Amino acid sequence: MYGWHGKALHVDLTHRTTAVEPVDLGTAKQYLGGRGLAVRYLSDLTSPTVDPLSPENLLILATGPLTGTPAPTGNRYMVVSKSPLTGALSRSNSGGTFPTMLKQTGYDLVIIRGRASRPVYLWIQDEQAELRPAEHLWGKLVPETEDSLLAETHRKAKVACIGPAGENLVRIAAIMNDKNRAAARSGVGAVMGSKLLKAVVVHGTHEVALYHPEEMNALCQQVRSEVRESVRQGSALREYGTAYVPPVTNELGILPTRNFQTGVFEGVEQISGHALKEKYLRRPKACFGCPIACGRDTEVQEPPYSGEGEGPEYETIAALGSSCGVDNLAAITRANYWCNELGLDTISTGVTISCAMELAEKGCLPIADVGRPLHFGDADAVIELVQKTAYREGFGDRLAEGSYRLATSYGHPELSMTARKLEMPGYDPRGSKGMGLLYATSSIGASHMMGDLAYMEVFGVPRKLDPLAVEGKAAYIKHFEDLFALVDSAGLCVFLAIRYLLSQDYQVMPTRLTQMLNHATGAGYTSEDLLHVGDRIFNLERLYLLGAGFTGADDTLPPRMLAESLPEGPGRGHVVELDRMLPEFYRLRGWDENGVPTAAKLASLGLNG
């Protein structure tokens, strides 16, 4: 096989066994790898009704056919499971250096089931896999865990692990790799913790065989040259990272502020990329094989917020900053460091804290429950609550359940800014209508990374769309959801794929992505074939949701987004007209009026067998 290794590693923690299974080439072509192939295995090997924290749930680490190849940003992997936060799919994505080393072990997927009798870690060296004791690592922070594991295994190995948050089954826990990179959304860290699996450590030497290596290298070099030229001309991503975004969204009136009560934050300049660069940036930082280098290697020297690490990125700034009413960038950066060290999803953590702040300010959350007064703008409270959440200490035990369960426990579920119980990222959908439809229809809940139409509504890539319009948005969201399924499954970062690998026109076809996949695999895809693959993956995920008990009634947003209009900014007076977009979306998807794929649709995708 080319692009794919053609092997999956099965790990049974209960019985302490491992087994190797061939990956069928036909199935690989149908689902690509990464997200698509992992969801296929999850659907085939478990029931959608499985308890997410039970031994029967699977935790799947999956690479794509472009992971570990010369493809720029070909260094992503997916973590797929059933989510303990939402009860829906969890589909988390991460970069760094771990994904390439995982691919170089010779496996396309690692499928983990069961529950160990005591803490363990999985050590994979090339094709050899073994489970080793990890009691001595239990309770350690992420950086210390990684350092210890490298000393025990191989100095050039790569580590994905959980921190105390995952160990304590915090529903918003992440899996961290390379110390600062996070497969964060949906609580995959809690799934790993429920299995008493502290880490996966990998070291491999297997190169990925390419079908047309010369053509592949030439195309990749061309793309890299274009990125270098963009950097030379002043790429915002290289210059400021994603932290350049707060002033952009603030100007559009969609920067989440005080738990999404408004989209305009008066302290935006204090939390911008310019401020981050001026005060704390040491250097841009790239994932392996990435010419963009949007990561931020930072250091804060201001007590009591002193520390060093990576970030914060835009979503973190929005969640731990403006959504909490905090304009203290040193505190936001320190809170970000804590999330990385403890293994927490910064988006869900920040938005859950902001939900608690609104509950407190509206008199719905007693001071006695928190142990201190709580209000928007309290930077020190954010840092304190981040730590308490990871250890389920005091009020942190409630925060550890996520904002939906928190708000519901105080009788106000409407104050949870979630879709399918997953906290919304940094775009208020009342001023970016396509994003509202995306949050409502995403198979994991409110995630921009399931089909980020902000590229067009906010940033004008490949062309600008009116963010306040609803007409035509259903078609765009359907198309972007399918494209993002492709990118996730191929093993690429969307930052590069959207800007350099898709045709920059109305169609937004995966032109260069098609070429890369064919050079790597020899599969002979057309761009239309690949869009069909993306459609297949998305519909398979829909079938999983339906099997888990979700219905069309769950394709919705918080009441605030549907009935409370934006109070200021360009979108003042606007709500999300989901009732106007959803029926058209269902029709374009080939689903009935209840959001269920028709028999004809499933037959066209080969999903009716």
Please tell me the predicted confidence (pLDDT) of residue 505: 64
Listed range (180-194, 500-514, 544-558) with the worst mean pLDDT: 500-514
Query: Domain 7-203 carries which CATH code?
Result: 3.60.9.10
Nearest to 485 by CA among 420, 534, 556: 534
Q: Provide the pLDDT for residue 414.
A: 98
Evaluate if pTM is beyond 0.85. yes
Cα separation of 371 and 397, whole Å? 13
State the SS3 of 569-592.
CCCCCCCCCHHHHHHHHHHHHCEC
CATH of segment(s) 237-423: 1.10.569.10
Closest alpha carbon to 513 in 525, 411, 327: 525
Give the C-alpha separation, 73 to 492, whole Å: 6
Mention every residue, 6+ apart, whose C-beta is less than 8 A from residue 268: 246, 247, 250, 255, 322, 327
So what's the pLDDT on residue 415?
Answer: 98
How high is the pLDDT of residue 26? 95
DSSP per position, 339-350: HHHHTB-HHHHH
| Percentage of the chain modeled with pLDDT above 70 | 99
pLDDT digits (tens, 9 = 90+) for 87-99: 999 999 999 999 9
Spatial separation of the C-alpha atoms in residues 278 and 46, rounded to whole Å: 50
Q: How high does pLDDT run on average in the chain?
A: 96
pLDDT at residue 236, rounded to an integer: 87
- CA-CA distances (angstroms) from residue 190 to 59, 159, 165, 292, 316? 11, 17, 7, 31, 20
3-class SS of residue 323: helix
3-state secondary structure of 312: coil
Rounded Cα–Cα distance for residues 351 and 318 (Å)? 9
* Cβ-contact 333, 301 below 8 angstroms: no
Consecutive H or E run containing 11: strand 7-12
Cα 174 to Cα 166, 195, 293, 585: the distances in Å are: 7, 14, 22, 31
Distance CA 341, CA 336 (A): 9
Q: How far apart are CA 17 and CA 9, in angstroms?
A: 11
Which candidate, 567, 576, 575, 578, places its Cα nearest to that of 263?
567
Contact 36, 7 (CB under 8 A): no
Question: Measured between alpha carbons, how far is 598 from 257 in angstroms, rounded to an integer?
Answer: 40
Instruction: Provide the angle, in degrees to the nearest 10, between the axes of the packed helices 473-490 and 511-521.
Output: 20
For β-strands 109-113 and 7-12, DSSP reports them as parallel
Residue 16 has pLDDT above 60, yes or no: yes
* Domain ranges, ordered by start, for the chain: 7-203, 237-423, 429-605
**pLDDT tens-place string over residues 54-82:** 999 999 999 999 999 999 999 999 999 99
- Give the Cα separation of 435 and 463 in Å (integer): 16
Calculate mean pLDDT across residues 177-181.
96
429-605: which CATH number, 3.50.50.60, 1.10.599.10, 3.20.20.30, 3.10.105.10? Answer: 1.10.599.10
What is the average per-residue pLDDT within 129-144?
98
- Model pLDDT, residue 263: 98
CA distance 52 to 118: 19
Using the structure block, give the residue that is written with the tokens 């350099």. 500
- What's the full length of the chain, in residues? 609
Cα 68 from Cα 334, distance rounded (Å): 32
Q: Where are the alpha helices (DSSP H) in 254-366?
A: 273-279, 314-316, 329-342, 346-361
